Structure 1
Amino acid sequence: MKLSKLTCFLLVFFTLFVLAAVFVISSDPSEGCDSSFIYPEDGSERVFYEDTDGVRYSTIPVNIKDLDFVDNGGVQDKGVADYLKGVLYLTGSSKHKITQDYERSAEYLKSAWENGVIDAGYLLFQSYLRGQGVCQDRFLAFEYLSYSASHGFSRSQRDMGMAYLDAIPLNVEKNYAEAKDWFESAYSLGDKISAVNLAMLYYQGFGVEKNESRAFSLLKMSEQLPYGSVFSGMMELGLFYERGIGTDVDLVQAYKYYDLLSPSGDDDKARIAEQMTPDQIREAISLSRQWQEEHNIFVPSYYGLEYQEDGTFQ
């Protein structure tokens, strides 16, 4: 039996982050590992970087020694300096001539965390979850995630929501109401993906009373949020407009969003084009082009290119 596009999407939504489960995580820390949770210095907690996409490397001084003199709001900030060093060593950076080194990254992140940089807690959560530079310990990973989430780091709040959907293996029971609360917190801080996740909970009626209108309004509001990919929620909006979920059926709007997702939305465009007039298609393309020009982001369809079977655009 062939599944509908919406059914397929819903299946993907609740398994989107199960890739995190590929890490073989022991339930107990290994012998000889430090399993103690470090608390930040009392009253020092602050979020350095609000954007949930993470620090942009272009903003980090090229010479790592310059980080020792990082100026944050007019004062020298060792916590921020160590956090940025931890970020660089976590992934490595050819621009900064730094080779990936998980252990050094963890050392710097712990120092930043002790100095109150809440952002470091999220990366320490990932490090303990994956065993990168530290022993794998999902209990300790949860401590860093929950503490940083409760102190206003929206990416941690989003992942707390995912943990309560049982999409991140952190020894917490599935709880849709808890997931909903964490997504709401992250959404209130401007996180697009959390708004989309929250919308799908309302659509499904998981942890909340089913409300398609609320789901649709959250998807629309996600477009105005500052953090996350501008394309977050577009597939869902296309589906809602196509099926009339929480709003009237509007194939012009559906086609616009599918066009913006080109080439991944090309099959969807072809499907609904059969139900549209040439004038409707032209209007949808015009709306798509207008959006791209306003955001200075262009997809292949803007230039009249179509995706080919060999992976090229012509």
Structure 2
Amino acid sequence: MPRPVIVGVDASHESRAAAVWAAREASRRRAPLRLLHVCAWHPPVASGASGSASQHLLARRVLRETEAHVRSVCPGADLVVEQAEGLPSRALLGAAEEAEVLVLGSRGLGALTGFVLGSVAQAVVARAVCPVVLVRAGRGAGDGRRYAVPHAGSHRTAARDVVLGLDLNDPCDDLIDFAFDTARLRSARVRVVSAWSGPSAFTLGPGEVGLIEGPQRAEEWRGFQDAVLLAWRDKYPTVAVTGDVAEGRASRALVRAAADAALLVVGRRTCAEPHMGMRTGPVAHAVSQHARCPVAVVPHS
């Protein structure tokens, strides 16, 4: 049985958009959908019983309303609802261990909504063992449209691109495979964006392209990108691929390229040493703040 797509839900608009996005993704993957609401645990006090009861009533209402909304937009969704109690980051990270994809609502500009605030959001994105998709409400989230699983021979409009941020100095198979497979499920094109910077006394090393002019250097990077993608074109022959290289900051190039995208896919290097703390990397952090489309952060070694 496929691993589920799990979405963390609360009472916000961003959470509702994330739930719809997750339902559509689960349908594409022929996977079950799990709606998860986390009630933050608080130490008991004298009047704690009524407070706890109210919190659980609110949680059940949030789950009930979210389920109704998902079913109205995505009829036939194979979903279950779940209520958990405890530290939100721990509950979500535990769910990520069972998930194919974990989906969260995001307000962008650095503020994730509801139960994933501040350090909780950072912990989930930085430590989850599965891809985490951040979805904002509004354009790009697919709000307000009914969705059915496409079938062979059905008429389809052109799908928006899946944009892949690819570091040519350290291309990762897990990241590339996720982007290509996600595009395959949508019958979408993969647009691969790689950034490069001119050499300096601090960055130029053996084997790097640094002794030619800018336009020629860009062509060299395009050649590197084509070489990396060659095997993936063969593995996914039905997926159209286009490649771009841009000089300058990767996050800026990716946000610009993903302005009309269905999804932006970036990597996050896993940390082998727990004492190193929570790190998403500068590119993943920046695009999760500023990209208008959903952002998938894929862990890789």
Same fold, judged at TM 0.5 (above): no
Higher share of residues assigned helix:
1
Higher relative contact order (CA 8 A, sep 6+): 2
Higher share of residues assigned strand:
2
- TM-score scaled by structure 2? 0.30
- TM-score scaled by structure 1? 0.29
